[in-house]
Structure 1
C-alpha cells in the first residue's frame, strides 16, 4: 500500500501473459507512494487449458474485482494496461469511475484478422497456434527479460475469438471514454503495429485529454523490454499531472 491521499493504480497484463508483465512498473509507482494492484486475469498464469475455458466476460469481471478491492484503499484510481490489458483499461473506464487510463501497446485490431465464427470452429479441432511467424523472442530487444517472461507459449484459438469480441466492445466504447488517456506504443513493435495507437487516438473524441507517445528500442511488451524505464517515467508523469500528488 501507498499513501491513501494519492490515487491508486490498477495494473492489467496482456493476452496469455501474467501479472509479472506489470510488476516492475507497479514497484516503480509504489516507490513514488502509489498503492498498486497487479491483477491476474481469469485463465492466465496457470495452464493454457484454463485460458481456453475462459470468456472475455471473465476478464472483465477480473478487472471489476481488482477495481473494487482498490476502492477500499483509495478514492481515485488509474487503470494501466498492456496490450489486451490496454483494451480492458479503455473499455472499463466507461463503466467504472476512473481518474485516468494509460494504455500501452494496445491493439485496435489483430494482425491475422479471422472472423470469430471461424476461430470458434477451428478451435474445436486445433486448440493452440504459434504466436507469430518469427523465432520465439525475436521481437524482444532485452533477451534476458524475454527469458524471464511468464506467458503461455502458444495462443489458444478459442481465446483469440474472445479477444476479438473484447476488441469490438472496446471500439464501441472509445467515443464514450471521458477520462484522460495516455497511449504508448513502440515503433519497433512487430506484433501489434504502431498504427493501432493512431486508430485508438482518433476514436477518443470525448476524452478530457489524450496523449500519444511513441518510443523506440522495445518490442511489444514495453513494460519489460529494454525501454521500460522510459515507459515507467512517462506513466508516472501522466499520473502526477492528471491526478496530482495528493
Structure 2
C-alpha cells in the first residue's frame, strides 16, 4: 500500500539519549516531523514510527485497533531502550495518550514524558452512539489540520472510520485508569484554542498522574496541531530544556 506523501516514519541514530514521538489518530509522522528533525539536529537518537492503519487510506485504519497502535510504540520504545541510556517519550493528541500509557506500564524505561494537547476523553454524545452507529455508518468527517498558521496542512485522513474510533474510546478509558501509575517528570503543552481536544483533558492528566515534577505551558498562538503551528519553536525549546535537565540528573537506576 502506497504511503501518503510525507507520512513516512522517521528515525535518527544519535547520542545515548533517545526520544520516541507518537503521532495522533488519523494523522501521520508528518505532523511531528519538524519536532523529530529538531531533536535529531540536537544530536539525540529519535524514533517516530508510523502507527498501523495510518498514512495510507482510512479503510486500512478501519481494520486496526488501539492494541495495534500501542504495540507499535511499545516496540519502538524497546528498541530505543536497548541502545540508549535515557529514553523520553512524547506525543500529540492520541499520541500523547500512548506516551502516557508507555510511562505507566514501562516505569523506569521512560525518563520523562512530553504531552502536547493530550487527548484522554471521548465526546460523550458521540461515544454513546458509537457501539451501534459503527455498524451502520462506516465513517464520519475527519479531524486533521486544526492549524492556525495559514498554508500549513496536516497529512492524514479526512474521514474517521468508526470502528477505529470505537477502539480509540476504549484506549482513552484504559489510559485514564492507568494515569496514577505515571510517576515520571511530565511536560504538558496545551493550546489556548483547540477545536479538537478540550483543555479539560490536560487538566485531567495533571490531576490524575502521580508525578510530582510537572511543568505546564499554554500555547497562545496555535490550534490543535501545535507541532506544525505558530508555537512549534516553543515546543521544541521547552522539550530541549526538559530533556537537558533530566538527562543529566543522576537517578537510582544509574546506581547513585
TM-score over 0.5 for the alignment? yes
CA shift for structure 1 position 85: 0.3
TM-score (norm: length of structure 2): 0.87
CA distance in 2 between counterparts of 1:240 and 1:2 reads 18
Cross-structure match for 1:37: 47
Cross-structure match for 1:185: 190
CA shift for structure 1 position 112: 5.0
Cross-structure match for 2:24: 14
Runs of 4+ in 1 over 4 A off after TM superposition: none
Equivalent position to 1:201, from 206, 214, 222: 206
Cross-structure match for 1:63: 73
Q: Does residue 232 of structure 1 match 2:251?
A: no
Question: What's the C-alpha RMSD, in Å, of the aligned pairs?
Answer: 1.8
Q: Does residue 129 of structure 1 match 2:133?
A: no
CA distance in 2 between counterparts of 1:40 and 1:174 reads 24
Write out aligned runs for 1:1-246 (5 A).
1-5=12-16, 7-96=17-106, 97-111=109-123, 113-115=125-127, 118-131=129-142, 137=145, 139-146=146-153, 149-204=154-209, 206-244=210-248
Aligned residues: 237
CA shift for structure 1 position 208: 4.1
Does the CA-based 8 Å contact 2:138-2:161 persist in structure 1?
yes
Gaps of 5+ in 1: none
CA distance in 2 between counterparts of 1:213 and 1:15 reads 23
TM-score (norm: length of structure 1): 0.90
In the TM superposition, what whole-angstrom CA distance separates every residue of 1:30-63 from its partner, at most 9, and x where no partner exists? 1111111101111111111110110111111011
In the TM superposition, what whole-angstrom CA distance separates every residue of 1:65-117 from its partner, at most 9, and x where no partner exists? 1112222331221001100000000011122220000011112312354336x
